[in-house]
Structure 1
Amino acid sequence: MTFKELGINEDIIKVLKRNGITNPTGIQIGSIKEILNGKDVIAEAQTGTGKTLAFLLPIFENILPESKYIQCLIVAPTRELAIQITEETAKLKEGKDVGVLAMYGGKDIGAQLNKLKGNIQIIIATPGRLLDHIERNTVDLKKIKTVVIDEADQMLLMGFKNEINKIMKVCPKRVQTLCFSATMDSAVKKLAYRYMNDPVVVTIEKEEVTLENIKQQVVETTDRLKRDALCTVLDEDNPFMAIIFCRTKRRADELEVVMHRKGYNCKVIHSDIPQNKRERIMKSFRNADIQYLIATDVASRGLDINGVSHIYNYDIPEKIETYIHRIGRTGRAGEEGYTCLFVDPKDSRLLGEIEREIKFTIPRRFV
C-alpha cells in the first residue's frame, strides 16, 4: 500500500520522499485511514515501527491552518520524546502555515506564553508543563479535535495517570482520542477505553522490530575486562553512529571519561544532565558530529535517530522489554542494524530470559 492510497496528499508525500521515506510501515497502514476517518484508535507498536508518523500524517491532513485555535494536542511522557515529535512535525510543516508549540520542563515558560498569543494549531507537551499552562489559564483546549497519548505504557510507568485524567477533563467530550503504546496491558487499555468511543485496535507483532534486519551478538567477558572488550569491538566495527547503553548514570559517566581519554568522539546523556545541554548533545548526535552516544535507559524511549547503525549494550538490561527498546534504535526502515551485548557470568540468567523471549540463541562474538 502507498501513502497516496492511505489518503496522504502529494505535498506531504514529497516531504516524506525528501526525508528518505517512500513506503508506509505496518502501523501506518493500520492507523492512518482510521484516524483520517475520525475514529478513535488504540495502537500497539514498538519504538522504531514508524508510529510517530502514523499519527502525525493524518493530523496534518486534517489540520486547518486558517483556523486560529488549537486543534491537536500530543502528550508525551518525556522531554526527549516531545523534542523528537516536534522535530518530525517541523519536517512535515515545510511550506505549510501550521503553528506548532512544544511545552516541556526546562524550556522558558515566558517564551511559551508569548508563542501562545500567536497562531498555534498543534501543541506537543509533557504532562507536567501542560498542566502548568492549564492551571494558569494560558492554554485553551476547548476546541481541539484530536488528542494523542503517546507511549501510554511509559506514561503510566512514570506515574502520570492523574495528570492524564486532569488533562482529558478540560478537553471536549467528543474529542478524537489516539492512544499509542509499545505494550498494551490491562492498565493501558483501562486508560484508553475510559476516554474512547468504539476504538479501532491496531496491533503490530513484536518480531517486526526485534529481529528483522538486526544482527545480534553477545560478548562474554567480566565486569573488570568489559571496558577493554568494548573498545576492542568499537575499533573493529568503527560504526558511523552508535549508542552505548549503561545501567546507571554513574557507570555512563565513568565510561565517558575512559572513552574520552582513549580518544573516542563521545558524549553522555542521562537525566542529571541539564536539559539545554541534553538538547545540544542530541542535536550534535543527530548531525553526526558525535560518533558515540553513551546513554541510560531513561533516555532510550525518546531516541529516534536516523543513521544509528550500531547499538552496544555495555550493561545487560534487567527487563526483556528494555533490551527490545534498546536494539530497536537500529535496523530502521529496511536498513541493516547491528547490536552487541556484553555479559559477565552473573548475567547468565538474564541472558537466558532474553533468548527465550526472542526465541533465538544469540551468537557469541570472540574478542
Structure 2
Amino acid sequence: MTVRFEDLSISSEILQAISDMGFEEASPIQALAIPRILAGSDVIGQAQTGTGKTAAFGIPALEKIDPKDRGVQALILCPTRELAIQVAEEISSLAAHKKGLNVLPVYGGQPIERQIRALVRGVQIVVGTPGRIIDHLERRTLDLSNIKISVLDEADEMLDMGFREDIEQILEKTPEFCQTVVFSATMPKPIVEMANRFLNDPEHLAVTQKQVTVPSIEQHYYELRPHQKLEALCRIIDANNLGRVIIFCSTKRGVDDLTTHLLGRGFSADALHGNLTQTQRERVMQRFRNGSMDILVATDVAARGLDVDDVEAVINYDIPNDVEDYVHRIGRTGRAGKSGRSFTFVTAREFYKLRDIMKYTKAKIIQSQVPTLQDVAGIKTAKLMEEVSLTLATGKLDRQSALVQTLLVDEYTSLDVAAALLHLLILRDSPVAASKESEFDDFAPDRNKKRERSDRDRGDRGDRGDRGDRGRDRGDRGRSDRGSFRDRERKDSDSRFSRPRDGGDRFERGEGRSFRDKNESRPERSGDRFAKGGREGFSNDRGGERHEPEAGMTRLFLNVGHKMRIGPRDIVGAIAGETGLPGKIIGAIDIRDSFSFVEVPSEHADNVISVMSGNQIRGYRIAADRANLKG
C-alpha cells in the first residue's frame, strides 16, 4: 500500500522541505519507521542501502528537536566520514524550513578546533564517526547528557569496522530517557546483543526482498583477460552512451591508474580514494554531483555512504571479493524507481567470485560481449545524425551556411563539405576511435580452455580459506569486552594482535583511532598473542628477543610505541587505511615502549615506508624504515 508523507503526522515545515526535495510517497522503511520513532519507541530497522533510511530516522529526529535549545539533542553515528557528511546534508535539507536548527557533521580529517567552535556556538544535531565522537567526549567538548534520540546508521558496518567498544562507550554516556534507533542492512549476533543491552523493548522493522539487489538494475558481466579491461571499458561506455558512472577498483593505485588512462582517452573522470584530503574528496564529489565530471573512479571504502542521484551505471572494473560489497556497489544506481545498469569484469581465475555473487543475490547476471569498434562507431554515428537532424529542424544556421559557402569551390560540393565535417566530428567525439581492433579482436573467452578454467576455479577456492570459518568470523564481528575506554587502552598494551577483514578508511588521520578486530578480545583467546590467522613472528613482550621475519615478509620500524598509547589496531588501521593493503596480509607486530616493529609482505614494503613516513598515528608523526635485524 502506498503511503504519502502527509499521512505520517509530519509538521508542515518538514513536509514543505520534502516537497522541495521532490518526494511525495514514503518508502517502505520510512512508512514503517517514522510513526514508531515519532511515538517514542526504540526501533531496530533492517533495510538495504538506498531504501531511504536517512529520512526514516532523520524526520522523526527533527520533529523532536527544540530549536530554542542550543544544546545537542540528537546524535547520529555513521561508520565513515563520507556517510556522516551525506546524512548531515540530507537532514539539513529536511530542516530547511525549521528556523534556528543546526546540524553538525564531525569526523576525522577535518580540524577538530573548527568542530569545537561550532559546538560552542550551539548545534542541536551531531552526525559523526565513532572515533571523532570519542575524541570530543574525552575533550569534554561534546555533552550527551540531554540528548533525546541517538541513532546508529549502518550499524553492521560499524561493528564490522571494529567500532563496537566505541559505540558502547558512547551509548553509556546517553541519559536513561534517550530514545535509541538502530538501522542495519544485516542483523548479526553482536547487534542483537547490543540492542538487548541498550534498547528498551525495541520494535523490529524489516524490509525484506526476495532479491538482495534492486530488481530495476540490469546486470551484465564480461569475461576478459586483465589486459583487455581498459579497452572494454571505453567501448562499453561509448556504445551505451553512459553519462554519470561510478567505476570501482580494488586498490588506490588501480583507481589512480585507471583515472589517468580515462583522462588520456578523452573521458571526464576523477578519482576518489583514501589518500585524498577531505578538501579534495569534497571537491571531487561536488564535481560529480553537479555534472562537471561524468565518471567517478573509486575504491569501496572511499565510496561508502555516497548518495548521488541519477547514476546511470556502476562498473565493477575489479570484481569485489565480498558479495555484500557487490550489493552495496550496484545499489548506487537504479534508485528511486529509476532503472540502472551494472557491468562487471571477471577473469577466468575470478569466476568463482561471480558464482558466489549470483548465488547470494539470486539475481540473473547476463553474460555480454564487448562491442566491436564497428558497433561503437555505428552507435556514435547514429546519435550524431539524430543531433544533426534536430539542429536542421531548428533552423537559424545563417552564419554556419555562410562559412560552408566559402568551402564550395569547383572541386568540392556541399555533400563533400558535409561529409568532411561529419568525419571530423565522429573522430573527435569518440575516445576509442584510435583503438586498434586487431589488438582486441579476441574478447570472447576461449571455450577450448573451459576445462582448464574450471580446474583453476577449484584450485582458487582452496586459497580462500574455509567458508565455515568465514561465516563464524562474520557472526562474531564486534564481540568485545564491555570495559571502560581506559581499561581498553590498558588491554591494548598487551599487544594482542588480530586482523581486520580490510583496512580502508577505518584509520582517520589525526584522529588516532582505528579499530579493534572482531576476535581481539574473545575471553577464550585471552592468552593468545595473535588471534586466528595471525603469524607469530616475534615476542610482543617489551624487550623480548626478535626473530627473523617470516619468509616473504619484511620487518619495518615505526617510531611509535606503548608510551604513545599505540596498540596493534592503530598500526594495522593506519597501514591498511593509508596504503589500501588488506589488513589480513599484515604480519606480526611487536610494540615496545617508544617504537614498534611490523611485518609486511616484502613486495609492499617500499610503498608502506613511502606512504607512512610523515603520516600520523594518534597525532604522532611517523618515521618508517626497514628494521635493523642485527639489533
The residue aligned with 1:156 is: 159
Deviation at residue 249 of structure 1 after TM alignment: 1.3
**Residue in structure 1 matching 2:34, options 14, 28, 32:** 32
Query: Which residue, 90, 105, 127 being the options, matches 2:130?
Result: 127
Q: Distance in 2 between matches of 1:145 and 1:360?
A: 41
Matched to 1:33, the amino acid is P
Question: For 1:168, which of 140, 157, 171 is the aligned residue?
Answer: 171
Q: 1:142-193: CA deviations, max 9, x gaps?
A: 0001000111111011111111111112111231011111111112221222
Alignment counterpart, residue 194 of structure 1, candidates 193, 197, 208 = 197
1:287 pairs, out of 270, 275, 290, with: 290
Matched, 1:18 2:9: no
Contact 1:76 1:155 in 2 (8 A): yes
Question: Counterpart in 1 of 2:367?
Answer: 364
Report the CA distance between 1:223 and its aligned residue.
Answer: 0.8
Shift of 1:310: 0.8
Counterpart of 1:218 in 2: which secondary structure?
strand
> 2:307 aligned to 301, 304, 308, which one?
304
SS in 1 for 2:227: coil
Aligned residue for 1:210, secondary structure, equals coil
What do residues 88-125 of structure 1 show as CA deviations (whole Å, max 9, x unaligned)? Answer: 02211213220211111111212211111223110111
In structure 2, C-alpha distance between the alignment counterparts of 1:234 and 1:148, rounded to whole Å: 40
> Is the Cα contact below 8 Å between 2:212 and 2:362 reproduced in 1?
no
Structure 2 gaps, min length 5: 371-631
Count of aligned pairs between the two proteins: 367
Structure 1 pair 206/218, CA: closer, same or farther in 2 (3 Å)?
A: same
- State the distance in 1 between where 2:197 and 2:61 align: 22
| SS at 1:168 equivalent | helix
**C-alpha displacement of 1:14:** 2.2
**Structure 1 position 93 matched with structure 2 position 98:** no
SS where residue 224 of structure 1 aligns?
Answer: helix
Higher relative contact order (CA 8 A, sep 6+): 1
- State how far apart, in whole Å, the 1-side matches of 2:177 and 2:68 are: 22
Q: 1:258-309 CA deviation, whole Å, 9 max, x = no partner? A: 1111111111111121121111111111112110000111023211111211
- Is residue 49–residue 209 contact of structure 1 (8 Å, CA) maintained in 2? no
Higher mean displacement: 195-204 or 295-304: 295-304
Letter in 1 for 2:245: A
Counterpart code for 2:70: K
Question: In the alignment, what sits opposite 1:245?
Answer: 248
CA shift for structure 1 position 344: 1.2
Matched with 1:53 is 55
Which protein is bigger by CA-based radius of gyration?
A: 2
Structure 1 unaligned regions, length at least 5: none
Q: Deviations over 1:187-225 (max 9, x none)?
A: 222122221010011111144761321111111211110
With over 3 angstroms needed to count, the CA separation of the structure-2 counterparts of 1:290 and 1:193, relative to structure 1, is farther
Contact 1:40 1:198 in 2 (8 A): yes
Q: Give the corresponding residue for 1:64.
A: 66
Q: In the TM superposition, what is the alpha-carbon distance from 1:67 to its structure 2 partner?
A: 1.9
**1:106 equivalent in alignment to 2:109:** yes
| Counterpart in the other structure of 2:118 | 115
Pick aligned residue for 1:315 from 297, 309, 318: 318
> Residue 76 in 1 paired to residue 78 in 2?
yes
Equivalent of 1:226 in 229, 235, 248? 229
Where does residue 5 of structure 2 map in the other structure?
3
Instruction: Measure, in 1, the Cα distance between the counterparts of 2:179 and 2:207.
Output: 22
SS of the counterpart of 1:225? helix
SS in 2 for 1:101: strand
Q: Secondary structure at the match of 2:307?
A: coil
**Equivalent position amino acid for 2:28 in 1:** G
Counterpart of 1:338 in 2: which secondary structure? strand
1 CA distance for matches of 2:338 and 2:285? 21
Distance 1:276 1:190, change over 3 A: same
| Residue of structure 2 in register with 1:145 after alignment | 148
> What are the Cα deviations for residues 126-149 of structure 1, in whole angstroms up to 9, with x where unaligned?
111111111111111100010001
Name the structure 2 match of 1:272.
275
User: Once the 2 structures are TM-superposed, how far is the Cα of residue 351 of structure 1 from its aligned partner?
Assistant: 0.8
Q: Which residue of 184, 187, 194 corresponds with 1:184?
A: 187
Distance 1:132-1:284 versus aligned 2 partners, 3 A rule = same
Mean alpha-carbon deviation: is it higher for 108-117 or for 125-134?
108-117
Q: Provide the secondary structure at the position in 2 that maps to 1:279.
A: helix
Aligned to 1:260: 263
Seen in structure 2, the aligned counterparts of structure 1 residues 301 and 222 have a Cα distance that, compared at 3 Å, is: same
Question: TM-score scaled by structure 2?
Answer: 0.57
Q: Which amino acid aligns with 2:349?
A: K
Looking at structure 1, the residues matched to 138 and 363 of structure 2 have their Cα atoms a distance apart, in angstroms, of 50
Distance in 1 between residues matched to 2:97 and 2:21, nearest whole Å: 15
CA distance in structure 2 between the partners assigned to 1:75 and 1:294 by the alignment? 27
Structure 1-normalised TM-score? 0.97
Tell me the distance in 1 between the aligned counterparts of 2:277 and 2:70: 34
Q: Deviations over 1:38-88 (max 9, x none)?
A: 000111111100101100011112211112221100011100000100110
Note the C-alpha offset of 1:11: 2.5
Q: Is the 8 A contact 1:313 1:341 kept in 2?
A: yes
Alpha-carbon contact 2:64-2:148 (below 8 Å) kept? no
Distance 2:291 2:101 in 1: 29
Letter in structure 1 aligned against 2:345: F
Deviations 1:225-250 (A, max 9, x none): 01111111011123221100111112
Residues 288 and 248 (structure 1), Cα distance of their counterparts in 2 relative to 1, 3 Å cut = same
Residue 56 of structure 2: SS of its match in structure 1? helix
What is the RMSD computed on CA atoms of the aligned residues? 1.3
Aligned residue in 2 for 1:328: 331
- Deviation track 1:307-326 (CA, whole Å, cap 9, x = no partner) reads 21111111111111111111
2:270 aligns to what SS in structure 1?
A: strand
